[in-house]
Structures are given as C-alpha cells and as structure tokens.
Chain A
Amino acid sequence: MSPTWSGRPRSLKASLLSAALGLALVATAVSPSIKPALAADGGTLVIASTQIPRHFNGAVQSGLATAMPSTQIFASPLRYDDNWNPQPYLAKSWEVSPDGLSVTLKLIDNALFHDGKPVTSEDVAFSIMTIKANHPFQSMLAAVDKVDTPDPLTAIIRLKHPHPALLLAMSPALMPIIPKHVYGDGQDVKAHPANLKPIGSGPYRLTEYKQGEFYTLEKFDKFFIPGRPKLDKIVVKLVSDSNAAVVSLERGDINLLPFVSNTRDIDRIERMANVTITDKGFAGVGPINWLAFNTRKKPLDDLRVRQAIAYAANREFIVSKLMNGKPKMATSPIAPGSPLLAPDIEMYKLDLAKSQKLLDEAGYPKAADGSRMNLTIDFIPGDEEQQRNVAEYLRSQLKRVGINLEVRAAPDFPTWAQRIANYDFDLTMDNVFNWGDPVIGVNRTYLSSNIRKGIIWSNTQQYSNPKVDELLAAGAEEKSPEKRKAIYAEFQKQVVNDVPVYFINSAPYRNAFAKGLDNLPTTIWGVMSPLDDIYWKEKPKT
C-alpha cells in the first residue's frame, strides 16, 4: 500500500509557520504590542491531578488515572459526543452486520503513530486481542472471536454472539489502538517497557515523565485530524493534596483541575471568578456511591431485613444535607445520565414505620433495650465525604429502627478490599463505576457467575437471582436498542427490589477550567477523551 499520508501534515505546519511569520512582519510594522504568534502558538495547558497513573497504556489498565493520559497518547476507533452518539475517530465508518455477528471498521488513511509508522488494521486487530486478553474488564470484549484484516484499512471484528456494547467499548478510554510493531515483540504487555514510554497515534506525544511528579504531553504535529490538537503542550502535575490543587487553580498556577469530587472544594471553586466548573464529562464513567449488603450472611440473607435498612437509610438527607445537594441521587444499578436508566422504580423513600414492620416480620423483634440486631459497616478509607460520613450517618439512622451498627474503619485500601473480597463484612459503603455500558461495568456486580472470592468489585454481595442472570444475558446480546432498554429496565426493577445494594448517589465529580479556555471537553468521557479541540480563547496573563 502506498502511503498517501506522507506530504500533508508537513505542508500544514509549513503554511502555519509562514502565516505566523507574515503576521509577525505585519504586526511589527503596525503595532509592536500585538502578539504576533497567536496562530501558531497554541499555548500550554497545565493540569493538576491527584490521580497518579501506574503507566500510560489504557489497553491493559483501567481507571481514571491511566485513562486521562492514555486517551491523549493513543487514538481509538470511535469517540463519543455529549449525547452518547458514536463519532468517527480512527474509524471513518463502522457497520454492524444484520445478524449482529460482525462489525466492519473502515480506517482513515492518514493516521500515523508517533514514530512515523502508519496505523493499519493489523494494529487494530492486535489491540483488540491484547485488550481482550489483558484488560481487567473481561466482559468488555469476551464476545470477540477474532478480527479479520482483509486490507490495511479494513478491520472486521467477528463476534461469537451479538454484542451491542462493542460500540461503547471502542471509546478512547477503553480501546486505545496500540502499535503492533512496538507491543507485539513477545513481551508481556502488562509489564511492557513501552507502557511508560508509549507510542500511540493520538494528538499528543508523551515527552517527559517524572515518576510521581509530572508528565508532559506535546502536540503530535502529524496527528491525523487537520488543525488539531489546538494546544501545543499539556503538563500534568501529579499532586497528593487536593486542597493545594484548589488553591493553585484559584491562583492561576494550573488551568484545569479534573475529578474534583469534594463538595466543599466544589463550593469553593464555584465562587472563583476566574474558573468555570462543570459536572459534564462523567456520564460515561457513571460512578455510583452505594451501600452493599453481604446477602449470604445472616440476618442480611433475609430480603425483608435489607429492605428495612433501605427504608430507614434516607437517601434524600444524605444527598441534600451531607453532600450539600451536589451529587445526583442514584436509584438503580444504572448511573444517572445513562440512556438506559429506568424511570419509575422503587425509591425506598424514608419510612421508619415500614422499616420496623419489616424487621418485626423477619423475626427480629425489639429487645428490652430497643435493639434488634448488631451489624458492622465498612467503608473505603480516604474519601471521607462519600464514604466515612455516610457510614457514620447510617449508624445513627439505623439505630432508630433498632439496628446497632458498628463502624469498622480500615487503615488502608488493601485492608478494606481484602475484607470485602473475602466476604468478611455485613454492610459496606462502596463506589463503583458503570463504564458506559452495563456489560462493561454493571454486570460484574450482579451476575451469579461473577461471585469470585478474593476479587474486589466482583459480585462481592454474593447476590444470586436466576432471573437477573437471564436478563443480563439477554441484554448483552439484544440488537434492538428499544428492546435492550426494556430488558435493562426489567433488570433494574428486579435488582432494586432484591436490594443486594442500596443505591445512594452518583459521585459528584466535576472538572474545573480556567476561564480563558474554550471548547471544553463535555462529552460523556470528559477528559478521558482526546483534548484536541480545547484551546485558549484568551490566554492567561503570565
């Protein structure tokens, strides 16, 4: 195949340069105060993040910390807009066969990796099979049988059964296309040295990384979309103290603070005159803060006890008072903001009388001292507002219906994860992400086949309902969007009724931007999607 891509990007750069030069000449002639290089100088975006990546290869690592840089460095077949609509990216077109068993991707012809080699269907096939084998989200590509590559610009994904979640799985955060000529050298991809010196085809190249301190992304001048990225450079400072990051934002030392989730920080940033803060950009992640039950442990194996706790918990108070009304309420396993969210489902509005009645019926009458049972509650250490405070609040709240709740603090995350993954808990607070499609991030919590001891964020509730298993299996393969929506509505109704989990709120994530920035990343993936369109409308004074 002849590389048709060779000449173009260079000529673009050359023309930009000459334009800038010309402008500079004119400008100096007219007025020396006008900054001449505006057209060519996209400027630098300084980001502070508390999310410290282990490495930059999103093909083998999930999580926000890796997703943000990985989506700048690697391009993916598709990207998404604000309304869950797929957009062309590396794939200029995509077609699902009528039987739903294959998806044909036509690639654009001018995409280059940062080392100058072209992106071909071989790389797409290699990436998909690598992700299927190594990515923690096993259900994401489990349906993929193989990827055919009839020519360098066509990839046909062959499926074992229809797999509608595949389109979302082709998002930047979930399917980075990694170069076969780098990662295909036989080394273990999870520990590949190139994970720290990545080569992708995205809008930015990683040029410097100081472990735990910062990383620098520079504009890739042969990026396949003309005129992008608009910025020259992104510097990501890795910080451990979110307070310090908020102060730097106010002082203008940083221009973007992603993943703000503390409601007092949000309040503070909302009052800053030089900053725009938005809750858009997290619909894809779909983070839900919830209370989980160990459904095989007495007395929580009794549905009535779990329902009684749900009726006593008072989600409205938690969201409006404890969290200042910043998050949205979560009522079902599907996060708010998803098109699959079912409308009318049981809300478990506060009803202490009903709660008491259910506990009586379940055979736990009040003892002389007013108590019915003793339970413990765990929480993820570190996030006080979303986790610890809710646990402490529930202790007071459940006491009203005669449940003595002991708060068990864990000194660190592994201790908590160990307890939960080995079913050594009664109740626990937890925070789990939807990741766009139920098959990717929801099924794992409810499928009885995913009760896997020792693995955190599997079905640690040990919840098992054959009807739910059936619905999830059907939803995973249903091609018609309407029917699929109906199936998941049924699923949500069933799970909410069975209360393996009491859903509380969608974590109040926000992104905060300096005012001079425009075209903010407000798509469903936010900053976990290429930042190639954001630009400085008005540069900050330095």
Chain B
Amino acid sequence: MTTIKSTAVKPDTTMLPARAATSPIAAALRQFARSPAGVAGAVVLILIILATLLGPHLYGVDPLDIAGAPLTPPDADAWLGTDYLGRDILSGLLQGGRATLAVGGVAALITIVIGVTMGSLAGFFGGPIDTALVKVTEFFQILPPLLFAMVLVTLFGQSLVVVTLAIGVVSWPSAARLTRAEFLRLRNLDFVKASRAAGGGNGHLILRVVLPNALPPIIVSATLAIGVAILFEGGLSFLGLGDPNTMSWGLMLGQNRNYVLDAWWTVTFPGAAIFIAVLAISLIGDGINDAINPRLRKRG
C-alpha cells in the first residue's frame, strides 16, 4: 500500500493544471509584462521601496529631530517643509515609508496566513468543521473592522507591532471566505479525486493538490490586502492610535491634520505618498489578476 502511494503521487502532481506548463511563473511574468498598468504599478512600487531603503542614508536628516522652525513651507533647507514640531517632512516620508510598507506587508501576510488556513480547512472538510469555522469567520466579519482594530490597539497599547497584528486580525475573514469558496469548487474535481484515490492524505491534498490551484485569486487578494493594510494604518494613526515613536505616513497624516488649513504641505505629501503607494499596489494586483486569469491568457 505504502509503496503504491509513494510511486503514485509523483506523476499525479505533475499532471495538475497549474504545474502542467513547464514554467508557469515565467508564463505569468510574460503575461504580467503585457499589462501596462501592472508594469507601471510595479515600477512605482519598486521606486518607493528603493527610496525608503536608500533615501534616509542619502538625505541624512533624522525624521524625529527638530530640523527647523515649526510649519515652515518647502524651501531650500527643508525641501518639503517642516511639520508642527519643526520636523523635516521629506525625511519623515523616506523613513516613514519603511514602517508603512512593513506594516502593509506583514499585516497582509497575517491576513493571508489566518485566512487561508481557516478557509482551506473549512472548504476542504465541509460538514461540522466547515460550519464551526464559518461561524468563527462570521463572528470576526460582523465586527466593524476599524472599530475592532481600535479596540485592540487601545487594549494592547499603541505600538507598531500591535497595530500590525490588529490590522491582520481584523482583515482575514474575506481571505478565508475566498479560499473556502475555491476549495469548495475544487475539492470534488476529478484531479483531486484521482489524487485521493491514489492514496493522498488530507494534508497532502490540501497543501499540494488543492491549494496550488486555488492560489491565483488568493495572490490577487493578498496584493490588495497590502494596500488595504496601509490605508488601515493611516486610518488608525489619523484617529490618534498610531505608534508615536515610529514615523509612518499615517502618523504624519494623523498628527498634522489639525494644521491642514495653515500648512498644506504637512498633510499633502504623506497623503500623496499613501495614495501613490496604494494605487501602485492595486495596479500590480490587477496586473497579476490579468496574468493568471486563464481566459485572458488564451487571448494573449
């Protein structure tokens, strides 16, 4: 029995549609390159990441340091002006981008890990396990996400780690539902049955057989989750629940919002940064969607 299983599994996986192409990733990349919006988004995002990684070393002003008089408009010394304490806006943007993108990435990762785990278990097993997990998902889904995140941050303290965890914890239900739907669709298809008949265990079926085929929409959703998490961080900071010790775009926006009438530059630049970053990520998400959508692939 065991010998049959081990020999049967290998050819089985190679027969899976997602792995049938010789290099699906290369194919997807080729397809992605044909989407101008996606490429533009990717270029912009790469530029932003480079700026946040290298910028602080090149610009050399501490974003938490008082660099000049408060609320000075953009000039030769402070290219984008200073905020209400006299901190340099440009250096805040460069340094703050790290925290913002990190929060976005990590929170999206948390969202996907929890969401995919819950969704795949529920969708694959069905029955009472499905019912129980769906109930849990619904419990989290009916709580207004921003309010829920505010409660979590209020309870556990205003630090970047808590903010990131809170965003992840409140955002996973949609990923869970998406994954569950994919699993429900896939689990009774012939190749899954075949794999099961060949002796594949549940873990093997979930991770190696169904999940790879459910991935395309999940990848798109994960990309978009990064953008949503960045907006979330901005929203929490705007409401005064950001981490005051780590510069981020959301924090800049939130702390300077009272000065919007007197000093437009204090909120315009961080706001524009968030806008551009989230837009770029959305475009990338669209590009990936196009790239891995089979119908579009045939057309191209």
Contact = CB atoms under 8 A, between A and B. Distances in A.
Interface of A: 264, 321-322, 381, 384, 388-389, 392-393, 395-397, 399, 406-407, 409, 411-412
Contact of A395 (B64, B84, B153, B259): B64
A407 B85 CA distance: 15
Contact of B64 (A381, A384, A389, A396): A396
Interface in B223-267: 240-241, 244-245, 258-259, 262
Nearest to B64: A396
Interface in B64-95: 64-66, 69-70, 84-87
Given A409-B158, A411-B158, A322 B244 contact: no
Interface of B: 64-66, 69-70, 84-87, 153-154, 158, 240-241, 244-245, 258-259, 262
24 contacts: A264-B262, A321-B70, A321-B86, A322-B70, A322-B84, A381-B240, A389-B84, A389-B85, A392-B85, A393-B66, A395-B64, A396-B64, A396-B65, A396-B85, A396-B87, A397-B66, A399-B65, A407-B244, A407-B245, A409-B158, A409-B240, A411-B153, A411-B154, A411-B241
Nearest to A323: B70
Contacts of A412: 154
Contacts of A399: 64-65
Contacts of B245: 395, 406-407
A392 B158 CA distance: 15
A387 to B, nearest CB: 12
Nearest to B243: A409
Nearest to B70: A321
A309 to B, nearest CB: 16
A406 B243 CA distance: 10
Nearest to A411: B154
A328 to B, nearest CB: 19
A321 B158 CA distance: 28
A264 B84 CA distance: 12
A392 B258 contact: no
B241 A321 contact: no
Nearest to A381: B240
B139 to A, nearest CB: 24
B5 to A, nearest CB: 56
B173 to A, nearest CB: 25
Contacts of A396: 64-66, 85, 87
Contacts of A397: 66
- Among B66, B84, B153, B258, max chain A CB count under 10 A is at B66
Nearest to B241: A411
- Closest 8 A-B residue pairs measured CB to CB? A411-B154, A407-B244, A409-B158, A396-B66, A396-B65, A409-B244, A393-B85, A321-B70
A384 B154 CA distance: 18
Contact of B258 (A384, A395, A406, A409): A384
Contacts of B158: 409, 411
A389 B66 CA distance: 12
Contacts of A409: 158, 240, 244
- Among A381, A388, A393, max chain B CB count under 10 A is at A393
- Among A395, A406, A411, max chain B CB count under 10 A is at A411
Contacts of A393: 66, 85
A399 B63 CA distance: 13
A389 B158 CA distance: 16
B162 to A, nearest CB: 11
Contacts of A321: 69-70, 86
A406 B66 CA distance: 16
Nearest to B67: A396
B83 to A, nearest CB: 10
Contacts of A384: 258
A393 B70 CA distance: 11
A322 B158 CA distance: 24
A381 B240 CA distance: 10
A496 B66 CA distance: 27
Given A389-B85, A395-B245, A409-B158, 11 more contacts: A264-B258, A381-B240, A384-B258, A388-B244, A389-B84, A392-B85, A393-B66, A395-B64, A396-B85, A407-B244, A409-B240
- Among B65, B84, B158, max chain A CB count under 10 A is at B84
A175 to B, nearest CB: 39
A98 to B, nearest CB: 56
A322 B86 CA distance: 9
A384 B239 CA distance: 12
A392 B63 CA distance: 12
- Among B64, B87, B245, max chain A CB count under 10 A is at B245
A150 to B, nearest CB: 59
A381 B239 CA distance: 12
A397 B86 CA distance: 11
A409 B244 CA distance: 7
B85 A322 contact: yes
A389 B244 CA distance: 11
Nearest to B244: A407
Contacts of B69: 321
Contacts of A264: 258-259, 262
A56 B258 CA distance: 33
A170 B227 CA distance: 62
Contacts of A392: 85, 244
A396 B66 CA distance: 6
Contacts of A411: 153-154, 158, 241
A424 B64 CA distance: 25
A297 to B, nearest CB: 20
Contacts of B65: 396, 399
Contacts of A388: 244
Nearest to A322: B70
Contacts of B240: 381, 409
Contacts of B262: 264
A409 B159 CA distance: 9
A393 B255 CA distance: 13
A355 to B, nearest CB: 16
Contacts of B86: 321
A153 B241 CA distance: 58
Contacts of B241: 411
Nearest to A392: B85
A264 B258 CA distance: 9
Contacts of A322: 70, 84-85
B165 to A, nearest CB: 16
Nearest to A324: B70
Nearest to B158: A409
A264 B266 CA distance: 16
Nearest to B84: A389
A202 B26 CA distance: 86
